[in-house]
A and B are shown apart, each in its own frame.
Chain A
Amino acid sequence: MPDATATNVPPVIRTRGLCRSFAMGASTVRALRGVDLVIERGEYVAIMGPSGSGKSTLMNLIGCLDTPSEGEYWLNGQPVATLGEEELARVRNHEIGFVFQTFNLLARASAARNVELPLIYGGVPPAERRQRAIEALAQVDLADRMDHRPNQLSGGQRQRVSIARALVTRPALLLADEPTGNLDSKTSYEIMALFDKLHRDGNTIVVVTHERDIAEHAQRIVTIRDGVVASDEQNVPRPVGTETA
């Protein structure tokens, strides 16, 4: 990972005093109360915390699905807190790959069409789109299932399609929200092994989870509690790749 060590490369994520409040009737709920976080290129970070801790809100902000009430956020050195709707859409398209707990695949589209989706919005021409979708599916070992629809795939395969969709734009950041939350433990290990491999390939990965053993795969575990960073520590990843096929 030579990029990660180069001094002139900005961190993938840099936040300063990130706050997010929600109006709930008359009162205001302060979900985030000033988060400072820096994630360098090539890092593999788990964000942990109990429900209600603000980790989902943080993930939405990092994923540019939401804009902060206060504070600043640079994604790849680019300030995104002030971006408008169209620019946020462009950032989501180019810079971020999302992996959701519930996969969020389009039911009527084949695996390949699902993976192509971000490229469609990115304006990539059809032939190149198909080629890149095939390559992304090959990265998750699903090249032979490209014409299958989500309902013809197992849970683990669906999640791998969704990872391929996240990878296909070659984003700066792979953002996974409880990626194994809907999978059994064996399939969970397969998916985590895939994340481990993607990390070794040089991808920057942020996984949001409330499960300790999922977080153990990351090199760094950030714990959020009551809207602030409660702990931020390095972790020695548990080797997992060996016990899965």
Chain B
Amino acid sequence: MQAVMGQVALMMDGRSDVGAAGASRADRAMERYACGEDAAFGDVYDELAPRLHRFALRWTRSRSAAEDAVQQTLLQIHAARHRFARGAAVVPWAYAIARRLLIDLGRRGVREVLRADDVRDPEEPSAAPSPEEALHHRRVAAEARRNLASLPSGWREAFELVKFEGLSVAETAEVLGITRGMVKIRAHRATAALREEARRLHGSSESTTRPALRSPRDIEGGTPT
């Protein structure tokens, strides 16, 4: 959840940590694998697995479910080896497969359990310097997590893929199967909603009384796209 807060802080500064490192190496490795070099699948794994694992972990908040999703995604990629289009980008495809598997996982009821508020973020540090800071961090993290989770799924997915996974707008559009313009709109709306909540959170942490959180839909006054 520190990643969420860090990202919101970056957004407040008008910056983003979007990067596409590893994408071209993954494409090259997949191309070699599709061409018949069996050993290249190890490189495909090395390039994709950490990113997919992080993505799945954020989605499920369960190590075993995330590992299962990564394994299934990579086996799907392996199964489609003979159909891999020459010169195609493997990263958006891998994310699209992982997303579908995670949605199916969620439909089986896993996501609802794992997204419950009392489940700790695996990326969250286990120890805090002091009890007060730990309590504060936990509150802030819980608020941020709730804010992110309460975003309309379309906004949240676009936001997570662009801001956390470092995919480009074009790659995110491919993963979600929507247009680039729609990705920009969704990510922007999610950013605006989270920024507003972060401002409210920051303001309320300085005062003793804190007003109840509003949902991003109330803030935007709109409907999910």
Indicate whether A and B interact: no
Interface residues of A (CB under 8 A from B): none
